[in-house]
Amino acid sequence: MPRLAPPTAVLLALFVAILGGEPAAAQQGALFEQSELWVETAAGSRYRFDVELAVTGAQQAQGLMHRDEMAADAGMLFVFEPMRPVSFWMKNTLIPLDMLFVAADGRIVNIAERTTPLSTDSVPSDGPVKAVLEINGGMAALLGIHPGDRVSHAAFGP
């Protein structure tokens, strides 16, 4: 899907403000840059995910809220600068997620599996992280992804 030109984005935001709510295109991540990443397990398996990048404060605040489904090979990568401890919640998030907390070198620090939709409970990292990869709930266990495995993406360098 093409990125919106600035005047179009302004008109879309104005339209949303007047009518209230969030347009379907925004709910589906039309305002997020798309990328791919790989998760490499200690057992030698590699899994590709098509992710949306949440790098701005507005993108990170929206995250995957208000979506009722996500493709099995999809996800969202939240990138933080500088690296720091982070905590998420599931308010307005309708699907269970696995949250993979990732250090600057791409190593998975900890995983919160099958987080509870709509919960306001805090889901913290086990220390400073560079990013959080959100994938469908149960996918980490299904694929055998564990702390110590690696995420390969430009956010973690070459």
Peptide bond into 2 cis (omega under 30): no
Kindly tell me if the per-residue pLDDT of 151 is higher than 50.
yes
Kindly tell me if the per-residue pLDDT of 148 is higher than 80.
yes
pTM above 0.85, yes or no: no
| pLDDT tens per residue, range 44-95 | 999 999 999 999 999 999 999 999 999 999 999 999 999 999 999 999 999 9
Q: Is residue 31 very low, low, confident or very high in pLDDT (cuts 50, 70, 90)? A: confident
- Report pLDDT for 157: 85
How confident is the prediction for the chain on average, in pLDDT?
85
